[in-house]
Amino acid sequence: MQGKIALEEHFAIPETLGDSRGYFPDRVWSEIKSRVLDIQDRRLREMDEQGIAMMLLSLNAPAVQAIPDKARAAEIARKANDYLSEQVRKRPDRFQGLAALPMQDPDGATRELERCVKELGFRGALVNGFSQVGDAETVVHYDLPQYRPFWAMAERLDVPFYLHPRNPVPRDAKIYDGHGWLMGPIWAFAHETAVHALRLMGSGLFDEHPRLNIVLGHLGENLPYAMWRIDNANGWIEHRHNYPARKPMRDYFCTNFHITTSGNFHTQALIDAMLVLGADRIMFSVDWPFENIDHAARWFDACPISEPDRAKIGRENAVKLFKLA
């Protein structure tokens, strides 16, 4: 398929480059490093070869979210966003931007989101999970009350918020002791992000701000396949659990969430997700440079789905959600 749009595609600046180092063995790091620092050269060539018309670019992980000092987090977010803006201006027909945000400071994150959308022309934000605040062990999730003004701004600006994974902090990673291979994209990324998404759903956020759009990568971080059990376990015993949300979790998932194919190029998983969410809420992505563009594109182009659904997932849904027309 020609004209695909990919929207979980990363870059790094020198200050955040090292954050990606630990996910890769030495023998492949030089390759990943060259990929993540490049925007205008090899990336464009591979896009052309695989029929990708546009990428929405975002900072690597965990980057800003792993900087406990609020002032430093704000500084790096602004620097990354200004750099991304410069790169987008060189080829706005091929690249658009998603803002990095210093969520350690809800007011500062709100201001930076507004600046990035109104002044830099960014299409939304991508945030790397929870943020560490004050020290390395203190984490905050965005269902907390102090983030309601931020979500009100995101709703008012009508831009999507991409909730991207990160590993748990060591204090919360004891379940993986002795099995470090489960960290990162193998398992911990999805678990951490799915819990955060469920916290947002259960908090009542989407009752208060029903027009919010949240994006999850990797075909929904396993949530499409868990929603029935989540609601059934909560629902068959009256008042089993109390939480602020007014509706079943699946209602929010199917109304306020979108998912992408980033790093999950599996036909059966895609079809399962389509049965839960419908083709209108799924979008193509690669997860470059941490996955391979040719792997993603060749799989998707040959995937046994209808051509109208391929057009929606490959391009049309992203054009609509991110206002790319």
The torsion angles phi and psi of 54, rounded to 5 degrees, stand at -150, 145
Element counts in the chain: helices (H) and strands (E): 14, 10
Q: In what order do the strands lie in the sheet with 52-59?
A: 4-11, 52-59, 95-97
Among all chains, which residue has been given the structure tokens 């602004």?
A: 78
Distance from C-alpha of 237 to C-alpha of 62, rounded to nearest angstrom: 39
The torsion angles phi and psi of 30, rounded to 5 degrees, stand at -60, -35
- The H or E element that residue 273 is part of is helix 267-277
For the question of residue 143 being annotated catalytic, the response is no
Partners of 140 in beta bridges? 131
* Residues 6+ positions from 49 with CB-CB distance below 8 Å: 293, 294
Q: CB of 261 within 8 A of CB of 287?
A: no
Strands (E), 172-224: 214-216
Nearest to 6 by CA among 95, 86, 123: 95
Under DSSP, the state recorded for 316 is: I
Of 177, 287, 301, 309, the catalytic one is: 287
Question: Where does residue 35 fall: left (phi above 0), alpha (psi -120 to 50 degrees), or beta otherwise?
Answer: alpha
Active site residues: 287
